[in-house]
Amino acid sequence: MVSAVLFDLDGTILNCVEPMSMEFIKIVKKLGADITDEVRKRVGDNLGEILIRKSSPIAEISLLWRLGRTIGLPFFKRIVLIFLSYSRLKEIANNSSLFDGVIEMLQVLKQRGIKLAVVTTRSKKDVSMIMKKFSLEKLFDAVVTRDDVRFGKPSPEPVILALKRLNVNAIDAVVVGDMPTDIESGKRAGTKTIALMTGLFNESLLEAVPDIAVNSILEIPKVLNQFEEIIENQ
């Protein structure tokens, strides 16, 4: 049976990646860039990088600069882009809300006796603030942050550490995330994986070959039944 579910934080439980992307695209439009589907994909992928890496402000600004160049902004407008977007994107990331229904979904899993963990590349300080802000401490049995591991996702190390803290075997666990790195980390650790198709990383998520893809995190309790059958047949 499924004994544990390991959740990514940003873009999975916490609704921040899509608002960041929408805000960035709004700023880019004001600067006169042509917003194509390819541009939207690049924006999502690159803003995701800001969240998943152990980035310094210099590295994050450099990434925004490269993104501005990639989507065709001239030199001066790239400077304006950074000036207008950097602080705003950080503000959105730090003041995000939970996706609707997340608390209720987590409570359903807890009632089933399933252990829950957060596996994130955010800092321990950030995660502690988020857990307290949304009263999540009692729902999660383990938390693994970037400060707990040497190598972050897509390395299996964060997932393996979470499984150790939960005292659960990989074969009995499921990793849920909205980015390819979440899926890769879970697969390399030996767990089953669920891709959350938010629209920003759909193509690259499918390329990571998750076991199941869902359009809403609220589908998790239902699709876990499918994993019960898979695990029982192994």
pLDDT in tens, 25-84: 899 889 988 877 777 766 766 666 665 554 567 777 888 888 888 888 999 999 999 999
Same domain? 114 vs 211? yes
Domain boundary among 60, 94, 128: 94
Q: What is the pTM of this model?
A: 0.83
The domain of 143 spans 4-15+97-232
* Domain count across the chain: 2
In this prediction, what percent of the chain has a pLDDT beyond 70?
Answer: 89
Q: What is the pLDDT of residues 188-216, one digit of tens each?
A: 999 999 999 976 677 788 889 999 999 99
- What pLDDT does 44 receive? 67
Measured between alpha carbons, how far is 91 from 145 in angstroms, rounded to an integer?
Answer: 20
Domain boundary among 94, 111, 140: 94
Domain boundary among 69, 94, 119: 94
Please list, residue by residue across 146-184, b when 16 or more beta carbons sit within 10 angstroms of its beta carbon and e when fewer do: bebbeebbbbbbbbbbbbeebebebebbbbbbbbbbbbb
Same domain? 66 vs 88? yes
pLDDT higher than threshold 70 for residue 131? yes
Choice between 102 and 70, residue whose per-residue pLDDT is larger: 102
Same domain? 81 vs 143? no
Mean pLDDT of the chain: 87
Handedness of CA 48, 49, 50, 53 (dihedral sign): positive
In terms of C-beta density within 10 A (0-12 exposed, 13-18 middle, 19 or more buried), how is residue 49 classed?
Answer: middle
> Average pLDDT, stretch 148-172?
96
